[in-house]
Amino acid sequence: MINLCDISHFNLSGDGEQTSSIEHLILDNIRINLYHIYSIAPVLRTLDTIIDPYSVNHIKHNFPPEYLSKLSIKFFGHFNLSTMKQLLREMTRLVHLTIVAYDIYNDIIDGFAWERILANIITFKFLFSFHESTWTQEPIELESFRTLFWLENKHWYIKYDRCTVSGFSLLYSIPYFNNTYPWVHIKGPIITKSTGPDIFSLSNINHLN
């Protein structure tokens, strides 16, 4: 059973000593500092929110998220693998992870590095939209995501879509989990690559943006 809690009376700036027994929290359209959330809700078990990637490296772990088992996050702006490693390093009970990230660069495409970060994760879903500056670069390769870790141990498969006209590119876990697909950037044929069965479906998409 999930208990709903009104957090409007909490100071999300992080000032003060107030705490809450909140275990499940969704913050929609609000960018937060994780340190502040941990200090307010020290027994948090699930969190769905938007994170500023530039603030992650400055997180103070006075209140480590030791109970957090499910995390869904959105990044607007560049983040890299060091950011993810820093973000997850004290989430020792985390087993379900969902990431939606916009304006990323090709340095995030390293399946071997992701293996080290995701070793204890059971469910991993993601959608990465690449920065416009990468659209003129060569299409990415998926070989580092074809290892035993990805295909045999985890059974995680990914797909890469790239518009042949604009160069707009997406990398995502399959099946496609998000409820939107950015068709506005698709101005012609697309090329696709996949590491597994192509089970892309539009059944869960209710908005084309």
Given pLDDT bands bounded at 50, 70 and 90, which one contains residue 3? very low
Taking alpha carbons only, the member of 109, 33, 125, 116 closest to residue 70 is 125
- Note the pLDDT tens digit of each residue in 33-82: 777 777 788 888 999 988 766 656 555 555 567 889 999 998 887 778 88
pLDDT at 190: 84
Domain borders along the chain are 24-208
The more confident residue out of 98 and 60 is 98
Average pLDDT over every residue of 94-121: 93
Q: Residue 12 pLDDT > 70, yes or no?
A: no
Report, as an integer, the average pLDDT of 174-197: 81
pTM for the whole structure: 0.82
The C-alpha torsion from 109 through 113 and 114 to 116, rounded to 10°, is 180
Of 14-18, 20-24, 165-169, 173-177, least confident by mean pLDDT is 14-18
- Band (pLDDT 50/70/90 cuts) for residue 201 is low
Query: What integer pLDDT is reported at residue 88 of this predicted model?
Result: 85
Q: In which band, very low, low, confident or very high, does the pLDDT at 152 lie, cut at 50, 70 and 90?
A: very high
Report how far residue 7's alpha carbon sits from residue 22's, in angstroms, rounded to the nearest whole number. Answer: 9
More confident residue, 203 or 126: 126
Name the helix (H) or strand (E) containing 54.
Answer: helix 53-56
Q: Average of pLDDT values for 122-128?
A: 96
